[in-house]
């Protein structure tokens, strides 16, 4: 009965909730917390190291949150969740249409891009690739190599001698490269501008 009484407030709630710009960033965030909590996380690469982990979708321009979810640890069965990255992104973007989603290699996958397209959303992110696909031999500095399919574009960009940046996009479908310093592809520029929305 209590839930039914809340229904009349949903339209008002929808007005108050922040509507993000066309670009949304999905990532994890650690809220520093030293107290006792069964789902407190230890993340050695984060500045705080201990805290409560959130999955967050934020507007890439303002960093305002669109959606959040607390990570409560592994399921009680003890088995690892399969396709957790995809599940998190799909949960975080519920209710969005016509937006682009930017995320890192924990989340990014071709299959996620396909699922987002079904929901009128696009994806730009750094996919996890096998080492043998990251070879740089014979590649010039600041060079780009593109691969195209019906659903997505992948670019490999070499900014430094031993670095290969790979970005997958279902938003871009060309090989545009910036004329400025570094000759960065538009896909890389878009990723760099929108990747830090949850910071």
Residue 5 included in any domain: no
pLDDT reported for residue 56? 94
Residue 1 domain flag:
no
The pLDDT tens digits for 21-33 are 999 999 999 999 8
Residue 10 lies in a domain: no
pLDDT at residue 2, as a whole number: 46
At residue 81, the pLDDT reads: 82
Q: What pLDDT score does 138 carry? A: 75
Within-domain flag for 32: yes
Residue range of the domain that includes 119: 18-194
The series of mean pLDDT values per 10 residues for the chain, 199 residues long, is: 55 69 94 87 88 93 91 77 93 96 96 97 92 73 89 91 91 83 87 88
Whether residue 40 lies inside any domain: the answer is yes
Domain count, the chain: 1
Residue 35, phi then psi, degrees to nearest 5:
-70, -175
The answer, as to whether pTM is greater than 0.75, is yes
Q: Is residue 147 part of a domain?
A: yes
30-66 burial, b for 16+ CB within 10 Å, e for fewer?
beeeeeeeeeebeeeeeeeebbbbbbbbbbbeeeebb
> Is residue 11 assigned to a domain?
no
Q: pLDDT value at position 9?
A: 58
* pLDDT score for 127: 94
Q: Determine the Cα–Cα distance for residues 86 and 90; give it in Å rounded to an integer.
A: 6
Tokens 């006792």: give the residue.
Answer: 36
User: Is residue 169 domain-resident?
Assistant: yes
């Amino acid at each position: 009965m209590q839930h039914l009484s809340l229904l009349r407030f949903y339209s008002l709630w929808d007005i108050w909730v922040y509507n993000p710009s066309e670009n949304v960033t999905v990532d994890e965030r650690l809220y520093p917390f030293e107290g006792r909590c069964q789902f407190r996380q230890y993340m050695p690469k984060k500045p705080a190291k201990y805290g409560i982990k959130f999955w967050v979708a934020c507007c890439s321009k303002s960093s305002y949150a669109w959606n959040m979810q607390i990570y409560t640890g592994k399921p009680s069965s003890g088995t690892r969740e399969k396709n957790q990255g995809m599940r998190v992104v799909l949960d975080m973007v519920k209710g969005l249409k016509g937006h682009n989603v930017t995320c890192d290699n924990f989340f990014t996958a071709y299959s996620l891009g396909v699922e987002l397209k079904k929901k009128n959303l696009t994806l730009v992110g750094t996919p996890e690739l096998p080492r043998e696909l990251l070879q740089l031999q014979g590649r010039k500095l600041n060079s780009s190599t593109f691969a195209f399919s019906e659903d997505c574009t992948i670019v490999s960009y070499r900014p430094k001698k031993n670095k290969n940046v790979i970005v997958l996009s279902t938003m871009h479908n060309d090989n545009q490269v910036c004329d400025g310093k570094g000759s960065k592809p538009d896909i890389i520029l878009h990723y760099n501008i929108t990747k830090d929305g949850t910071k």
